A and B are shown apart, each in its own frame.
Chain A
Amino acid sequence: MTKKVKGETGKTNVKEKVNIADNPMFRHMIIEGTKYRTLTTRKNELRTKWVAPQLKELKSFIPGTIIKVSVKPGDRVEPGDLLLVFEAMKMMNQVLSPFPGIIKKVFVKEGDKVPKGSVLIDYE
């Protein structure tokens, strides 16, 4: 049986005889308790593994600049209190506290440029 062989680009570039069962790229995949031998895809390999969110960490979901810091460690905040002014996508975003709590640590100061996903403030 002839089989198309894929090169690194995923583009078919060689045609040769291959015994499918000999392919070293095979992995095992478990579906409903049964183990299957199969190949995987680049997209499946590239997927991000899910991690439970840390509810006490305030993270930037977009890169930007810290314009103003309105809280310091030890401050008690209520929902809606201003924590930071964060400039991103040409907008001055007011970052408000989503829940009541005590500020444990502030990781940024005014003028800091922060990348996406970095921790800005930690709650107790």
Chain B
Amino acid sequence: MPLKRKILELKKRKEEILQGGGEQAIAKQQAMGKLTARERVIALLDEDSFNEYDLFVEHEARDFGMEAKVLHGDGVVIGTGTIYGAPVAIFAQDFTVAGGSLGLMHARKITKIMDYALRMRIPLIGINDSGGARIQEGVNSLAGYGEIFFRNTLASGVIPQISVILGPCAGGAVYSPALTDFVFTVDNISKMFITGPEVIKTVLGEEISMEELGGARVHAEITGNAHFYAESEMECFEQIKKLITYIPWNNTKKARKFEPKDPKPEYNIEEIVPGDPKQPYDVRDVIKAIADDSDFFEIHEYWAANIVVGFGRINGDTVGFVANQPLVLAGVLDVDSSDKAARFIRYCNAFSIPLVTLVDLPGYLPGVDQEHAGVIRHGAKLLYAFSEASVPKTTVIIRKAYGGGYIAMNSRHLRADFVFAWPGAEIAVMGPEGAANIIFRKEIMEAEDPDKMRRLKVKEYKQKFANPYVAAARGYIDTVIEPYETRKLLIHALEVSVNKVSDRPWKKHGIPPF
């Protein structure tokens, strides 16, 4: 056979496989408002950069009539490509082929590209759209999931791992995304749960829709399983591309350096924060007044909104911002916000991204639900993460820093490299009202007019202790600065921290409270 004919045969074979599950299945996918697996990969990656592998893989199942079934690519697309020139490895489950169900060869394709990503030390992106285990393949399917989970864990903290939920992702399958660094979801398309609505109805008699149980909004706002929420697949891909610009390829590299840019003039740092510590403001405006080009890429925007975390750049270099948000729940620390910030801090530390912490918090959220939900255990994660982090750590105390919250928010005592305070900072063991009530309890109780005496004593306490100078006198903060100096000092802090050495005792690993 001449080579020309062989080439023709190759083309024919490829053409057939690239049809995925066929016209009908593709029409069904489109009717759900979803792109097909290959359309997604092409939309996400740089133009013409995608190279697909294992196109010709076939399953080996021999039971339940499977031997007669042809499943193109075994329901998953794998390959490599680039995003803004950065190399990535990618897999995308193809729902049009047997519902994207995971059989032995399907799993082998995924683990192959995972091994490749880890060996080449490049980011891994997984697009999940699957009905779950391929029941006909029995325990082989379970083995496949296990192999994926193991590699997720192995690669954790070595290469960035990104999961994109663009369809159902139920049962055991949810644990691969849960083990990865960032989970992206799309409204009305993403669905994640361990047991679905049907099982819940039969067993517990509780009726709930898939969307209400485990839709994108639920995971973005209530559970925190999703880091990002988008209204369309295209918006989601834009978010992923943007994320890739902030993070390094692996844990030995630094994130890409960009041209430094000043913040936009509409964010006037002197005007954002009200003087009265009881009045709210949006701390993201302070971040935008500090970051290059006022650009802030927020993570977990809708979950635990009382703390804000995300990436920005200072003088062209990526930094991770952690900031209390006085706008929501007065900026308190609680179970979810500690969990959210701790995880983000550990991400930044693993990938050599310096941390900038902005502090303005009244303390911890009071409540039986908080105590019973384990605010002690979860709150400890934040202390652990900040203490453990050896990347350059700078703290700016904007306003309140009371009690345990002061310690937890990357204080000097947890080894912040630099601690700056604005002149309105109040660093104290607790808020003036609470402190005065305890210290002057006797005077207040015995006074003719207790309310007047309380007000007097609160004022007295405020004057003496609600300022940055008591902490500055002990060296707990390095200097008191004017708000407009913040960016300049942060640039300086990052410059002098480039060769930071952090001596820690040898350990196999720590035992964080998770």
Contact = CB atoms under 8 A, between A and B. Distances in A.
Contacts of A20: 280-282, 327
B278 A36 contact: yes
Interface string B285-305: 100000000000000011011
Q: How large is the interface on B (under 10, 10 to 19, 20 to 34, 35 or more residues)?
A: 35 or more
Contacts of B220: 10
Contact of A44 (B203, B231, B329, B364): B329
A52 to B, nearest CB: 10
B362 interface: yes
A38 B280 contact: yes
A47 B372 CA distance: 12
B204 interface: yes
A42 to B, nearest CB: 6
B266 A2 contact: yes
Interface residues of A, number: 35
Contacts of B366: 31
A31 B330 contact: yes
B229 interface: yes
Interface in A50-100: 50, 62-63, 88-89
Given A31-B332, A50-B369, A115-B205, A1 B278 contact: no
A10 B326 CA distance: 18
A9 B187 CA distance: 10
A13 to B, nearest CB: 9
Given A21-B279, A37-B278, A63 B205 contact: yes
B327 A38 contact: yes
A116 B221 CA distance: 26
Given A1-B266, A39-B329, A41-B328, 7 more contacts: A9-B217, A11-B231, A29-B329, A32-B434, A36-B280, A37-B278, A63-B205
16 contacts: A1-B267, A9-B187, A20-B282, A20-B327, A29-B329, A31-B363, A31-B364, A31-B431, A32-B402, A32-B434, A34-B278, A36-B280, A38-B331, A47-B367, A50-B369, A63-B203
Interface of A: 1-3, 9-12, 20-21, 26, 29, 31-44, 46-48, 50, 62-63, 88-89, 115-116
